[in-house]
Structure 1
Amino acid sequence: MWQHRNFPLLCLFNSYAIPFLIAKFGWNDGLGGLLYAGIIRIFLFQQATNCVNSLAHWLGDQPYADTNSPRDHIFTALITFGEGYHNFHHEFPADYRNGIRWFDYDPTKWFISLASPTSIISAWLGFACHLQEFESNEVNKAIFQQKWKQMEKLKRQINWGTPLDVLPIYSWSEYEALCINHGGSKYLVCVAGVIYDVKPFVDSHPGGRTLIEAYVGKDATASFHGGVYRHSKAASNLLDNMRFGVVRGGSRVDLHQQKVRHLNGLFKSSSISANSPLLSSLDKTC
């Protein structure tokens, strides 16, 4: 083709000769046109183009994949005319777009879209057809996988407290004996069958020291979950870091219900009625 055979001359003419001639015959400043519209413009455009393989692999996020170095960033997109959404380009190279969201700065995408058969001005342009777009399901899948990987990384950095399955097991009487109000030395509170050592938090408790001390050695499940105050998720998370042990059979209420069920089972197999005064009196002592 003619333009291929004469490519070097066309580059020199369009890059330097035309700016010089326009400035020369337009306002008699050919050297100014050559310098600003020629040399400096070419220099800046070359630097912007090279940013695709430098800045676009260093600045920004990796919302689709992190196996390689390309990244997405609006600053790189502004100076490279849309090529700054480089992570998407590397992950979905068949897609004609770089920035897939409507507000992503991608002039190339906009021009190609206008030149496509679906455009209202395609009748006189007709430059582009059969534009390829990756399925949105696959794009969303990549986004989800990347976010999941980041969440797993964050999860490994968080202290979730001692796992419940490795905590020591105490009977209710053993739990009470450890507490300061029963001759022990610890500030222990039971919530939903889990024993917590709240001593580091006693002086920091928003409700005051007296309130939290009132539940030492007791079952604070109902109070913690709304009886006194419905604590936030953050409070539950903070409590997880104070795990001390678990109560055998659960909370005091659970132990009481187990004893009642046991007594009911015994009396069902005997001649004594389950609703007799004898059962009621035994129930009150459990």
Structure 2
Amino acid sequence: MSDLLQDQVVIWQHRNFPFLCLFTGYALPFLIAKFGWNDGSGGLLYAGIIRVFLFQQATNCVNSLAHWLGDQPYADATSPRDHILTALVTFGEGYHNFHHEFPTDYRNGIRWFDYDPTKWCISLWGWLGSASHLQEFEANEINKAIFQQKWKLVERLKCQINWGPAVDTLPIYSWSEYEALCINLGGSRHLVCISGVIYDVERFIESHPGGRALLVAHIGKDATASFHGGVYKHSKAASNLLDNIRFGVVRGGGQVEETH
């Protein structure tokens, strides 16, 4: 604060702050309206009392709305959030999550289009030479914080997903054992082998987009080539669907069994 304490204008304003508040907040609007169009009471009411009331509410939204509405793209250990509505209400202070995480940065909204009049003014003054040493946090550290927050969201989503039984926990079958389990070879299971993994497709037969007959025709067989483009190149969603119907794995990965 040493530079501010040496600034005579700042010191004068600090010493006369109560008088300046009353004069500029109430007396000046009254005088302008009184001598401008003979409506001093209107100036006092609308440009004075109501304006001050609304501006105080907008200012206080920084410590209320800005901690309740919006996203937390940089950190979530505390409550501040970013939202365009709060930025509009508070004249640019709505990117509060960024402000709390990177308090030394002169910006609130770091993207050029983020509504932050103060940032735009300071940038302009810097360009004109009236402001200097503008502090901006390193872009790498900002991106790191964004990544960490997104990774948290990914981890939370991952915990909500059923990924099916892990391949390394599945029972292992020889090819002949796999065939013996299949319904069209004397067994009781609707099993299909794809890339060495056995899938129980019984509950999916009737809803298979390619039709029941096509899926039944591959029971007890190696359907790897058909699944990956021989008949139809299936989507990632189709591959994901298989994860939940894993039944086992084939020793050796296919029809040619391991020999000992």
> Which TM class, normalised by the smaller chain length?
over 0.9
Within the alignment, does 1:227 sit opposite 2:237 as a pair? no
Within the alignment, does 1:217 sit opposite 2:220 as a pair? yes
- Per mean C-alpha deviation after superposition, the further-off stretch among 173-182 and 96-105 is 173-182
Structure 1 residue 180: deviation in Å? Answer: 1.0
d(CA) in 1 for partners of 2:156, 2:178: 37
- The residue correspondences of 1:102-181 to structure 2 (distance < 5 A) are 102-116=112-126, 119=127, 121-122=128-129, 126=130, 128-181=131-184
Match of 2:65? Answer: 55
1:192-242 per-residue CA deviation (whole Å, 9 max, x = no partner) reads: 010001111111111000000000111000000000000001100001111
Letter in 2 for 1:110: W
Letter in 2 for 1:81: F
User: SS in structure 2 opposite 1:203?
Assistant: coil
d(CA) in 1 for partners of 2:213, 2:34: 89
2:248 to 239, 245, 248: 245
Match of 1:266? Answer: none
d(CA) in 2 for partners of 1:88, 1:5: 33
Ranges of 4+ aligned residues in structure 1 off by more than 3 Å = none
d(CA) in 1 for partners of 2:240, 2:13: 69
d(CA) in 2 for partners of 1:3, 1:82: 24
1:21-76 per-residue CA deviation (whole Å, 9 max, x = no partner) reads: 11111111111111111111111111111111111111111111111111111000
User: SS in structure 2 opposite 1:21?
Assistant: helix
d(CA) in 2 for partners of 1:210, 1:7: 86
d(CA) in 2 for partners of 1:134, 1:53: 23
Match of 1:71? Answer: 81
Letter in 2 for 1:97: R
User: SS in structure 1 opposite 2:206?
Assistant: helix
Letter in 2 for 1:210: A
d(CA) in 1 for partners of 2:67, 2:209: 48
User: SS in structure 1 opposite 2:205?
Assistant: helix
Structure 1 residue 163: deviation in Å? Answer: 0.2
d(CA) in 2 for partners of 1:6, 1:94: 29
Letter in 2 for 1:39: I
d(CA) in 2 for partners of 1:35, 1:214: 84
Letter in 1 for 2:108: N
- Per mean C-alpha deviation after superposition, the further-off stretch among 92-101 and 166-175 is 166-175
Within the alignment, does 1:20 sit opposite 2:30 as a pair? yes
Of structures 1 and 2, the one with the larger relative CO (CA 8 A, separation 6+) is 2
Structure 1 residue 150: deviation in Å? Answer: 1.0
d(CA) in 1 for partners of 2:204, 2:29: 74
d(CA) in 2 for partners of 1:189, 1:102: 55
Identity across the alignment (%): 79
Aligned length: 250
Letter in 1 for 2:142: V
TM-score (norm 2): 0.93
d(CA) in 2 for partners of 1:135, 1:207: 53
Structure 1 residue 139: deviation in Å? Answer: 0.7
Within the alignment, does 1:31 sit opposite 2:41 as a pair? yes
Match of 2:5? Answer: none
